[in-house]
Structure 1
Amino acid sequence: MVVTGFGFAILVGTALLMLPTASADGTSTNWVTALFTATSAVCVTGLVVVDTAMHWSLFGELVVLGLIQIGGIGIMTLASLLGLLVTKRLGLRMRRTAQTETKSLDLGDVRSVIAGVIAVGLTVEALTAGALTARFVIGYGLPLGQASYFGAFHAVSAFNNAGFALYPDSLTRYATDPWVCVPVLVAVVIGGLGFPVLFAIGRRLGGEQRRWPLHARITLLTYGALVLLGTITVTAFEWTNPDTLGPLGTGGKLLTGLFHGISPRTAGFNTVEVGEMHSATLLVTDILMFIGGGSAGTAGGIKVTTFALLAFVIAAEVRGVSSVHVMGRKLPDGVPRQALTVALLGVGMVIAATLTLLLLSPFGLDAVLFESISAFGTVGLSTGITAELPDAARLVLVVLMFTGRLGPITLASALALRERGRRYELPEERPIVG
């Protein structure tokens, strides 16, 4: 149902974007471009093969915006509902739910989940749009109507971690403007943390819950550590690069470093030219994009919980401990296997797509690998090769965006739901590992 629902949304979006009224010049857009754009919007990726503001008319831009909203809010809702389904209590009032890679909830019924996700999304988008609109009017003299539209578009794109912008250079013109960058980053982080974590924060602040749920603690600590790591490495590696941070002042360098430490989680906006970054910076960005953000949020990737759980499993194995303990809790035996399966299948998809793109396009490994991970993690950052890829390569990215966006969610839920006891065991024999 999840795959069919999002597939149907993409097909409807493709049909709408192919209409002559959707393009700025009044001609019909070819089906590959329309399909790529619709998939990128529904999967909240942000990769584009045509300039959003130049190619699409107002109607086309509103279609893209609607697809982003459907994809972002819809994925948060479906991911949260899958978390309830995993507990086998769907439709019943509940106090606690089990946690899988996808999410950990402490909610009531299904209606509460849907209402909560929509309320959080619309509230964050409205506040971000208001802040951006005020800045565009006061700081840049835009007419109120245009400023409101620009503010709303980028607010929806930011909260849903979509990365679509109405400027051909994304947000590079605002690289040193904290009044634009900070609201965008706040919306990105809130959307990327995931609804279960936002719900836990709300209950904690409201005094309804004394102890942080394990999922929330893992997500917040890991997310924060990766943001810090990304900010430090990007800033340090690009500090003297004349094509990125070099010409900026100290404040501008720090703000831009912070922006690009958070953006790969998976916002997709950029305030410097990604294609001009050093290879070391691109590799760090690859890692951040692959990990992604929080579960049941608008971010993609294998999720920070999956990454953290694998780290805990490795630590337990190195210490020679048979069970995995995390922050005063013991993980169920199936959780490490689920995390390992999600991560390795993600690696497999990226490798297969990278190899295919290398065969179909003239670009080198750095750019192609970056593009593949960006598509799988639904990030939207690019070194600038997306528009130059042949149609066959674009279709590969369409498949990768779709499977990367829905794969980890549906896979982890399916693994949890398929857990069952074995009535017999085979003779044990240990192979050599390592």
Structure 2
Amino acid sequence: MAGRATGVGHRLFAAHPARTLVLAFAVAVLVGTGLLSLPLATADGHSAGFVTALFTATSAVCVTGLVVVDTGTYWSGFGQGVILALVQAGGFGIMTMASLLALLISGRLRLRLQLTALAETKTFGIGDVRRVLLGVAGTTAAVELAVSAVLALRFRFGYDMPVGQAAYHAFFHAVSAFNNGGFALLLDSVVPYRTDPLVTLPIAAAVILGGIGFPVLLELLRHRRRRLTTGRRGWTLHTKLTIVTTAALLFTGTALTTLLEWGNPDTFGPLHWSGKLLNGFFHSAMTRSGGFNAVDVGAMEASTLLMTCTLMFVGGGSAGTAGGIKVTTFAVLAAAMVAEARGEPNSTIMGRRLAPHALRQALTVALLGVGFVIAATLALLTVVKAPLEAVLFEAVSAFATVGLSTGITADLPVSGELIVILLMFVGRLGPVTLVSALALRERKRRYELPEERPVIG
């Protein structure tokens, strides 16, 4: 009987893996809400309100970082531990389950050498599940411990923190950074360290590594070992796209942020030119889905906020801890536009022709993302008295699970908090489940309808 039940459960998972993924994260949110609702979780010993606990748990599990209360003062050590555990579970679960989900789809559909929005299918096989899990765990532990060590030494000897406090602050921020969580123990995030590269650069590096995607990280490590032994180096298209697009967006974000904020007296104005460049890079890295801020985001120029919204919407790499529509989706759409502008019948990129279904999936993800952001912005504008740019920024940050805010999060009414909660959840799991559903539903048509071209533009 148990074997029969197990078989039924396996068939349900195989038929609807996206449904299982959504259910798993929903359960994690509910468990986190229950734990954060305990009197033990708050600093003053009073139970947090249900919506406050739900908002914080959703933000942690979806590794967003938006908060309605200050993490360092409102929550007790137990509450902060729960938040950190939820961030770790959300980041580790996203990386593992998204990779395994991609493997399940590729095994069923026999996809080879094709770019997907989740992972490069050539990287793994169905028999590699154990290696994937161990690889994710090992990579996560290695990066978090390395960043923790650097931060702990800096906090201890650069800011005279007690050993225990330095270690705790370092570990908390390292876990939050690698998982793109955005939670910080200080009320103003990392603003006190904005001119300290020994704090900001390790955090930025952890955010970039976590957001680039586990399939890419594992492939880079594998090919590094192969190159050392055989002298060969060959990356898959997914890895090339992710690295090149991420680097281009980081450079663009750094240049634009630095230039736009150069003379702003409330942000970069008082800084030395080296500090301006450092903070321009840090802010650009945080748009990958990091969520930490080293300057007051609410004081930034409107042009900077719009540029930041664009970078946040794109997000990071597939099957990683970052949100957004993903850099590979952006690259596929860009390749399609270039092909159309040149009058070419097929979209090509880096010497490879893109499959038509990859373009359709990318277009679907991007347009649905735009739809969610617009709908959420309209809903928030009906309940929040704030400028349009601030509300739009909040909506994009929630959908892309970034965590940056202009400062309106804590002032949201309950209805506004519920809208943001839904947007964080949809934004975190929407692209994964949508692309999975599209891939699983792919089928061949046995007939073709008559072709006709409507007027475009």
- Range into which the TM-score falls when normalised by the shorter chain: over 0.9
TM-score by length of 2: 0.93
- Determine the structure 1 residue equivalent to 2:365: 342
Segments of 5+ residues of structure 1 without an aligned counterpart are: none
- For 1:37 and 1:310, the matched residues in 2 are separated by 34
**1:288-367 equivalence runs, <5 A:** 288-367=311-390
What's the counterpart of residue 210 of structure 1? 233
Question: What amino acid sits opposite 1:387 in the alignment?
Answer: A
Note if contact 1:350-1:372 (Cα within 8 Å) is conserved in structure 2. Answer: yes
Aligned to 1:182: 201
Kept after mapping to 2: 8 A contact 1:234/1:281: yes
- Which residue of the other structure, out of 406, 409, 431, is the alignment partner of 1:408? 431
Q: Which residue, out of 285, 292, 310, partners 1:287?
A: 310
In 2, distance between residues paired with 1:282 and 1:41?
Answer: 24
How far apart, CA to CA, are the structure 2 residues paired with 1:310 and 1:381?
A: 26
- Counterpart CA distance in 1 for 2:114 and 2:443 is 16
- 1:114 aligns with 133
Aligned residue in 1 for 2:115: 99
Contact 2:309 2:393 in 1 (8 A): yes
Does the CA contact (< 8 Å) of 2:115 and 2:237 recur in 1?
no
Q: Could you say which residue in structure 2 is the equivalent of 1:254?
A: 277
Gap regions ≥5 residues in structure 2: 1-19
Secondary structure of the residue aligned to 2:452 is coil
Return the alpha-carbon distance in structure 2 between the equivalents of residues 158 and 428 of structure 1: 50
Counterpart amino acid of 1:64? I
How far apart, CA to CA, are the structure 2 residues paired with 1:313 and 1:429? 21
Alpha-carbon separation, structure 2, partners of 1:334 and 1:98: 10
Letter in 2 for 1:306: T
Structure 2 match to 1:125: 144
| CA apart distance, 1:415 | 1.0
Aligned pair count?
431
Which amino acid in 2 is paired with 1:305?
Answer: T
Distance (whole Å) between structure 1 residues aligned to residue 311 and residue 262 of structure 2: 19
Q: 2:177 aligns with which of 133, 145, 158?
A: 158
Which amino acid in the other structure matches residue 273 of structure 1? D
The sequence identity of aligned pairs, in percent, is 58
- For 2:268 and 2:42, locate their aligned partners in 1 and report how far apart those are by CA, in whole Å: 35
CA positional deviation for 1:210: 2.5
- 1:75 Cα offset (Å): 0.2
Runs ≥4 in structure 1, deviation > 2 angstroms?
94-99
Could you tell me which residue of structure 1 aligns to residue 163 of structure 2? 144
Asked if residue 49 in structure 1 is aligned to residue 68 in structure 2, the reply is yes
Alpha-carbon deviation of 1:338? 0.3
Give 3-state SS (helix, strand or coil) of 2:107's partner.
Answer: coil
Residue identity matched to 2:182? G
Please report the TM-score for the alignment, with normalisation by the length of structure 1: 0.97
Q: Secondary structure at the match of 1:265?
A: coil
Mapped contact 1:95–1:107 kept (Cα < 8 A)? no
Partners of 1:230 and 1:326 in 2: how far apart?
23
